[in-house]
Amino acid sequence: MPETSHLNVTGCFCPLPILLSVREMQNLTPGDLLELVGDDPAMLEDVPDWCDRAGHRLLRYVVEDDGSLRFLVEKGERAPARKRRAVEVGRRT
């Protein structure tokens, strides 16, 4: 049965909610859940983006009547492979 960890980042603003979430996820195993609660409106964009980049799954989120935000995130196996882009370096003549 998956473990559920709770992290309250109320009063913290970008980038702290994500940084603290990353730290908390390091203590979990794939399939475990993180319930994240905060009040930074930027979390509405930041949490889904972080889940996509890190390979986690955002199961749901709720905006409470008091404006607080509640997310339920399932820890993924690993971050998806990133596509590498070639960088062209200009020559000096």
* Active site positions, annotated: 14
Peptide bond between residue 30 and the one before it cis (omega within 30 degrees of 0): no
Q: 3-class DSSP state for residue 73? A: strand
Show the tokens assigned to 74.
Answer: 């399932």
Running DSSP on this structure, what letter comes out for residue 26? T
Of 41, 74, 79, 71, nearest in space to 57 by CA: 74
